[in-house]
Structure formats: structure tokens, C-alpha cells
């Protein structure tokens, strides 16, 4: 099932944090941030670091998109 990180980007806007700042604050790699930007799967520990840094829950930053909405089979 595909994922969307649109909630993460909206949260960053609300908190006035850019992607580069978040990368440093959360201690994640630029490669992980690039994957997030492409809505690709990342390791659970990356999501955990983001949630800890942003003081939020997983469902505040990630959304699972049903295959029917993406046109994939």
C-alpha cells in the first residue's frame, strides 16, 4: 500500500521548519529525506526520529493511500 507524507510537509509548515532543519534536528540522512520527498518507504526508525523530534504520532505525519486512489494494481 503506497504512503503519502503530505501530513508531514503540512506539519513542517505549521511549525516553520524546513526539510534541511528537520534532517539535522532528527538526525536522519539526506537520503531518507529524499525518500520521504518521493513518498517512498523509509525505515521505521526514521519515522520514530521524526515523531520524537516533532512531538507527534505516526498518523500525524504519514498516511496510507489505498491502491485504488493511486491507479496502481
Which structural domains are found in the chain, ordered by start? 3-63 (1.10.260.40)
Residues 19, 65: Cα–Cα separation, whole Å? 23
- The reported pLDDT for the residue numbered 14 is 97
- The reported pLDDT for the residue numbered 69 is 58
Reported as a single tens digit per residue, the pLDDT across 11-68 is 999 999 999 999 999 999 999 999 999 999 999 999 999 999 999 999 999 999 887 7
Q: Has residue 70 got a pLDDT over 60?
A: no
Residues 9, 37: Cα–Cα separation, whole Å? 9
Residue 66, classified by CB atoms within 10 Å of its CB into exposed (0-12), middle (13-18) or buried (19+), is exposed
DSSP β-bridge partners for residue 64: 3
The gap between the terminal CA atoms of the chain, to the nearest Å, is 10
- The reported pLDDT for the residue numbered 72 is 54
Amino acid at each position: 500500500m503506497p504512503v503519502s507524507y503530505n501530513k508531514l510537509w503540512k506539519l513542517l509548515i505549521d511549525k516553520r521548519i524546513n526539510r534541511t532543519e528537520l534532517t539535522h534536528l532528527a538526525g536522519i540522512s539526506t537520503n531518507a529525506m529524499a525518500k520521504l520527498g518521493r513518498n517512498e518507504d523509509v525505515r521505521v526508525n526514521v519515522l520514530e526520529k521524526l515523531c520524537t523530534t516533532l512531538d507527534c504520532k505516526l498518523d500525524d505525519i504519514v498516511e496510507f493511500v489505498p491502491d485504488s486512489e493511486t491507479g496502481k494494481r
